[in-house]
Chain A
């Protein structure tokens, strides 16, 4: 039984995925980050479909909106209409700051919406405060299911 936190990052752009993972892991050694590079991969992992024998239960999901195959809004809609998966907080991390995207994400049940900052300093600040809030400040429900996700997406 591991007490490590596990973040599922759904992001199609490898440069963005690297940046997010490096930034998250830089300030917290007790964290695993796995990356799904599109909506299908993310949902397979969470449902335990495809190559997974058991559904994955990350502590937190960080979701980009514009993804190939199944985009972020569709993933969000599936997550938030699923009895168990809806318990996992979903943070939208998108480059869009349009009112339309922001509203529709909260409408679908996103737990918070963040616009990707354009410079490194603000990017780190926002990811640090995100971690501090969701992983330390708030109480989350107990998780069942595996939370180790090596072998999905880009791996480590």
Chain B
């Protein structure tokens, strides 16, 4: 056996054993070569295929157009990679249609341009993708349902809660010191509970409103947004004798009021969770992987890494009530806003030294 026939044999064996279906057609569209996978895929025997037109493998509905496709390809033959985003189907002998991906390679020979088609059965992949798409849709729907539910509940709770809060205050005002001591105490428990619940409901509403509001993404000056946030926090800044420094910040594409809320919540937290020393807060930004990465750095009490998940969850507080105000909604809102903009939020911290919150936003 000489070298040439040996390598020819190897090539034929390779084609035969290829896991893709391989079909070669001549310039007239007549099948001149198939491998084992093609027989399996389409359910025809090799004898039925060889010498027949490639049209026998094309579903009847697109058979008419297929001629044109072939003519166009023959006029301008070029390698076409598999699945250029088109849903293609092949026709089996039993009439069934199977989703396939096809790659085309022109091969120039003395007898004209032959076409080598490589065919892959993508039924399984399609099934998985469809299942994934359905799952995602289902998730989105149930998320939206939940948020709608949160919105409706928190909205409708406000009315009766207002009654409880105001009338318990009226009771306290009119009957304090006229009943016994425990009655006074009980009334104050009611007032306190109602007020806390009002705050929870307000927070829940604020949280669920983020989604119901459309993002108005425009090019905005992040520096101006921070200045507004600082202005809103001026009382807390003055009271805590905080020193706030802000590096020059870029313009980015984001929703102005939502970005302002993120900064306000992060800076507000830096002021709230301060150590004994006066707070020093530094705000800055740098480009990172095509996005803008902002940071808010403080010298406060710090945050243990183990709370990484919890701090961003709704109504999760790490400290006992009474020590720090608030319901633990600020970071949950910040996270939601950042994620709606396609960004990410995280922190680095050393207990006793301080915390730096980072978040990314699209640059443009």
Binds A, one of B158-166, B178-186, B278-286: B158-166
A16-B169 Cα distance, complex, nearest whole Å: 14
Chain A residues within 8 Å of B169, by CB: 119-121
Least Cβ–Cβ distance between A129 and chain B, in angstroms: 17
Is A118 on the interface with B (CB-CB < 8 A)? yes
A13-B195 Cα distance, complex, nearest whole Å: 21
One digit per residue, 1 when the CB lies within 8 angstroms of any chain A CB and 0 when it does not, for chain B 146-179 equals 0000000000001101110111011001000000
Is A123 on the interface with B (CB-CB < 8 A)? yes
B159 touches A19 (CB 8 A): no
A residues contacting B by CB (< 8 A) are 13, 15-16, 19, 95, 116, 118-121, 123
Chain B residues within 8 Å of A15, by CB: 163, 167
Chain A residue nearest in CB terms to B205: A97
Chain A residue nearest in CB terms to B173: A120
Chain B residue nearest in CB terms to A16: B163
A118 touches B163 (CB 8 A): no
If A119-B169, A120-B170 touch, whether A95 touches B163 (CB-CB below 8 Å) is no
Is B198 on the interface with A (CB-CB < 8 A)? yes
Chain B residue nearest in CB terms to A66: B159
B167 touches A118 (CB 8 A): no
A-B contact count (CB 8 A): 30
Least Cβ–Cβ distance between B175 and chain A, in angstroms: 14
B residues contacting A by CB (< 8 A) are 158-159, 161-163, 165-167, 169-170, 173, 195, 198
Least Cβ–Cβ distance between A38 and chain B, in angstroms: 17
If A95-B158, A95-B162 touch, whether A118 touches B198 (CB-CB below 8 Å) is yes
A95-B156 Cα distance, complex, nearest whole Å: 10
Least Cβ–Cβ distance between A123 and chain B, in angstroms: 6
Least Cβ–Cβ distance between A115 and chain B, in angstroms: 10
Chain B residues within 8 Å of A116, by CB: 162
Chain B residue nearest in CB terms to A119: B165
B158 touches which one: A16, A118, A119, A123 (CB < 8 A)?
A: A118
Task: Tell me if B's interface is mostly helix, strand, loop or mixed.
Answer: helix
A120 touches B159 (CB 8 A): no
Q: A19-B170, A116-B162, A123-B166 are in contact. List 15 more A-B contacts (CB 8 A).
A: A13-B159, A15-B163, A19-B166, A19-B167, A95-B159, A118-B158, A118-B162, A118-B165, A118-B166, A118-B198, A119-B166, A119-B195, A119-B198, A120-B165, A120-B169
Chain A residue nearest in CB terms to B168: A120
Least Cβ–Cβ distance between B155 and chain A, in angstroms: 9
A116-B161 Cα distance, complex, nearest whole Å: 12
A120-B195 Cα distance, complex, nearest whole Å: 11
Chain A residues within 8 Å of B167, by CB: 15, 19
Most buried by A among B159, B162, B169, B195: B162
Chain A residue nearest in CB terms to B166: A120
A15-B165 Cα distance, complex, nearest whole Å: 12
Most buried by A among B159, B161, B167, B195: B159
A130-B165 Cα distance, complex, nearest whole Å: 22
Chain A residues within 8 Å of B162, by CB: 95, 116, 118
A19-B169 Cα distance, complex, nearest whole Å: 12
Least Cβ–Cβ distance between A105 and chain B, in angstroms: 18
Chain A residues within 8 Å of B159, by CB: 13, 95
Chain A residues within 8 Å of B158, by CB: 95, 118
Q: List 13 A-B contacts (CB under 8 A).
A: A13-B163, A19-B167, A95-B159, A95-B162, A118-B158, A118-B161, A118-B162, A118-B165, A119-B165, A119-B166, A120-B169, A120-B170, A120-B173
Chain A residue nearest in CB terms to B163: A15
Chain A residue nearest in CB terms to B199: A118
Chain A residues within 8 Å of B173, by CB: 120
A120-B166 Cα distance, complex, nearest whole Å: 5
A121-B165 Cα distance, complex, nearest whole Å: 11
Chain B residues within 8 Å of A120, by CB: 165-166, 169-170, 173
